[in-house]
Amino acid sequence: MLQGLFDEDGGDGESYYQGTTNTSSKSTVEKPLSPRNETNLCGLQNQGATCYLNALIQTLLFIPEFREPLFSLSAKDLNLPLNSTDSSQTPSSGSTLKVRKIIVELQRLFAEMLLLNQQACSSIRLTDSFGWQSNETFDHQDVHELNRLLFDAIQKSLQGTKQSNLIRSCYEGSTINYTQCKQCQRIFKRIEDYQDLPLVVQDSPNLHTSLANMFTLHEKLVGDNQYRCSSCANMLCDAEKWAKISKLPPILTFPLQRFVYDIKTGNRLKKTTRYEFPFDIDLKEFCEDSVIETNYELFAVVIHKGTCYSGHYYGYIKDIDQIGCWIRPPPPSSPAAKSSNKQKTSNTRNGSTSNNNSRTNRNSNQTDPVETDEEIMKKIDLIRTILLSCDDWTTIDDLFKTYRDNTTVPRGRTRGSNGAFTKFLRNYPEVFHVDDKRVRLVEQMDIDENEITDMDHETLQIDKSLINNYENDEYWFCFDDSIVTCVTRQHIQRHYGLNDCAYMLFYRLKNHRNKNGSFMDCSDTIYSIPQWLIDEITEKNKILEEKREIYEKYQNQLPVTIYPSEWFEVIDGCRLNLNNNNQVLFPDQYGEHIFDKRTKLNEFILNFEV
């Protein structure tokens, strides 16, 4: 999927605007994308299965040490043609310089995410700059692997610019591996650079234990694992090895190794055992004495939901620059309460349909191939991945077609009517909300139907005194593709022990703020964006606003036909009969008129006065 990631030429960008057409018979006007919600932050559209990319891009945007130097590169630095912002053009006739497409499109996407007034931006132009094909965006990828490849691509694209060391300056640190020969007592050192530190989750209850296993425990090299010492005539000797961190970067990344290989079964497994990580950590005990700044704070968490074969990524990010508008959300409901509600519903449903289900299962076992639990889980995960790329409802027919196009199950197993597919969806009401001919994920519903009756009206009201309460919850937001919501630390801590567990942790040096030590105001962010991008997005916002006004006006059109009263006669004192003596043309001020439904009643009546 990542073939051509490092290529800097070829491919035209797509239009920034992607509207959805209202398919109802009433409207023929294209519906524009919705504006931002109350958070004033922008999500990213899912191109099929690009949730892993969306989570990483959002994380990069909220790192000022990365974002601001990226914006400092001018059009000239990026070899853009004069008076043009099309990254697919060559700088000038005969020039051998190539446009730095990846950086141009990353700048453009960052600027749109900061300034463009729509709920979600498209990353198509950025993935095009990587050389991805349209069908490749539906392949599910590992976010850790993509993170390294993305950094390599950005690093190569920045070569020759004043920000050529941007990735290294933000993310690169180093460790020292020590090996001491027990025969001659000589200590050998080997320095290794890193951009992230993968941590083992298995048999580790928390982040501190995983780090201690890497940087405080000493491993003995004895028996079949002896060390060949160069100072002892290359003899095999008993030895001891350990490691220490010798350099810490401003941004420290911990990929958590959740996926393991089971030798007994020959299958990959996802470790979802409870694993805690602190919001503040001091790494001094894991570092060399020469490392001074060791205090870090958590600022981003990438969550993985699903199995080791498929799933969905989303992220929690701390808005350290206060770019968005944080409003305290209601506290997360406990898993026990949700389970109780679901169990009540399940018991009611099972009590009324148990006989039918048992009879149906017996008939099904006689005709359909038996699916194992693992096959069922894979099937649910694939359907969830497809539905997560949809904003809300989708038809079962469209879902079934997409499922067949992307399943590895033999065609004969899915041939025929989609009735069995609909039945499968209805068998998992805790995952899928099935309507007459539509379906969506239960998790995409704004409020759990089982909890509505238990919620007091006052808990739904926004307490203005809690707006922008940075001191308590530090501007945490959840970025789930196109949806952005406010969260607190409680929401993040729930993932210590859930199947939706942390997959990557991002920490930053505590005192690594702006030069003046203050938080960034949004207006400062605007001025750090290149002027050509500000002009471009200003024009896009203008076009979006015009489209929304046109669409809103069209949706509120009220067609009214006015007939002259003399064309009618009253029959039996209660029934009107049209008797226009074969007149075809309406007199002046009569006939068809279009009115705005938002017009006040008295103004509406005045328009009818003749």
In CATH, what number is assigned to the domain containing residue 433? 1.10.10
Shared-domain flag, residues 489 and 433 = no
Q: Is the Cα torsion angle 63, 66, 68, 74 positive or negative in sign? A: negative
Answer yes or no: is pLDDT of 82 > 90. no
Task: Return the pLDDT at 13.
Answer: 34
* Same domain for 116 and 51: yes
Q: Which domain holds residue 520?
A: 31-80+98-171+196-205+250-328+473-557
Catalytic member of 42, 51, 287, 486: 51
Q: Is residue 400 domain-shared with residue 518, that is, in the same domain?
A: no
Percent of the chain with pLDDT over 70: 72
Residue 181 has pLDDT above 80, yes or no: yes
Euclidean distance between the first and final Cα of the chain, in Å?
A: 68
Q: Between these two residues, 516 and 320, which has the higher pLDDT value? A: 320
3-class secondary structure, 490:
helix
Domain match, 592 and 543 both? no
* pLDDT bracket for residue 329 (50, 70, 90): confident
Compute the distance between CA of residue 528 and CA of residue 10 in angstroms, rounded to an integer.
29
Identify whether the C-beta of residue 128 lies closer than 8 Å to the C-beta of residue 5: no
**DSSP run (H or E) holding 418:** none
Residues 265 and 377 in one domain: no
Report the 10 Å Cβ neighbour count for 7.
Answer: 16
Answer yes or no: is 525 within a domain.
yes
What residues contact residue 420 under an 8 Å CB cut-off, 6+ apart? 368
Give residues with Cβ within 8 angstroms of 514, minimum separation 6.
Answer: 64, 520
Report the 10 Å Cβ neighbour count for 419.
Answer: 10
- On whether both 313 and 414 belong to a single domain, the answer is no
Return the pLDDT at 355: 46
For the cut 80, the answer to whether the pLDDT of residue 405 exceeds it is no
> HSE of 86 in the Cβ direction (CA atoms, 13 Å)?
12
Domain CATH number, residue 271: 3.90.70.10
Please identify which residue in the block is written with the tokens 């989303």: 314
CB-based contact 405:382 (threshold 8 Å)? no
**Least confident piece of the model among 29-38, 192-201, 258-267:** 258-267
Please give the average per-residue pLDDT across 482-511, as a whole number: 90
312 in catalytic set: yes
Instruction: Write down the catalytic residue from 140, 144, 312, 495.
Output: 312
Between 341 and 586, residue with greater pLDDT: 586
Instruction: Say if residue 60 is in the same domain as residue 107.
Output: yes
For the cut 80, the answer to whether the pLDDT of residue 111 exceeds it is yes
Is residue 432 one of the residues assigned to a domain? yes
Mean pLDDT of 205-218: 92
In a domain, 497, yes or no: yes
Three-state secondary structure readout of 371-395: CCHHHHHHHHHHHHHHHHCCCCCEE
**Within this chain, do residues 201 and 264 fall inside the same structural domain, yes or no?**
yes
Q: Lowest mean pLDDT of 32-41, 90-99, 290-299, name the range.
A: 90-99
Nearest-angstrom CA–CA distance, 489 and 470? 12
Tokens matching residue 561: 């036909």
Q: Which residue has the higher pLDDT, 376 or 239?
A: 239
Kindly report the average pLDDT of the chain as a whole number: 77
- Residue bearing the bigger pLDDT, 311 or 461: 311
pLDDT at residue 427 above 50?
Answer: yes
What distances in angstroms separate CA 410 from CA 371, 379, 385, 404, one per listed residue? 13, 13, 20, 9
516: confidence class by pLDDT, cuts 50, 70, 90: very low
Q: What are the tokens at 367? A: 């005709």
Q: Is 208 a catalytic residue?
A: no
Give residue for tokens 């409901």: 333
Of the given ranges (100-109, 182-191, 389-398, 464-473), which has the lowest mean pLDDT? 464-473
Reported residue count of the chain is 610
Q: Is 222 part of any domain?
A: no
Whether 532 and 434 share a structural domain: no
Burial 12-51, CB ≥16 within 10 A → b, else e: ebeebeeeeeeeeeeeebebbbeebeebebbbbbbbbbbb
In this predicted model, which residue has the larger pLDDT, 277 or 432?
Answer: 277
Q: Is the pLDDT of residue 522 over 50?
A: no
Domain count along the chain: 3
Of 190, 192, 292, 287, which is closest to residue 244 (Cα–Cα)? 287
pLDDT at 440 over 60: yes
Q: Confirm whether 542 is domain-assigned.
A: yes
How large is the average pLDDT for residues 239-259? Answer: 93
Q: Are strands 43-44 and 120-121 parallel, antiparallel or unpaired?
A: parallel
Q: What is the pLDDT of residues 334-343, one digit of tens each?
A: 544 444 454 5
Q: Please, which pLDDT band fits residue 609 given cuts at 50, 70 and 90?
A: low
Look at 168 and 441; give whichever has higher pLDDT: 168
Q: Tens of pLDDT along 43-56?
A: 999 887 788 889 99
* Ordered alpha helix ranges (H), 310-469: 335-367, 373-388, 396-406, 411-414, 419-426, 449-452
Region of residue 593 (left: phi > 0; alpha: psi -120 to 50; beta: else):
beta
pLDDT given at position 198: 92
Residue 491 included in any domain: yes
* Same domain assignment for residues 552 and 528: yes
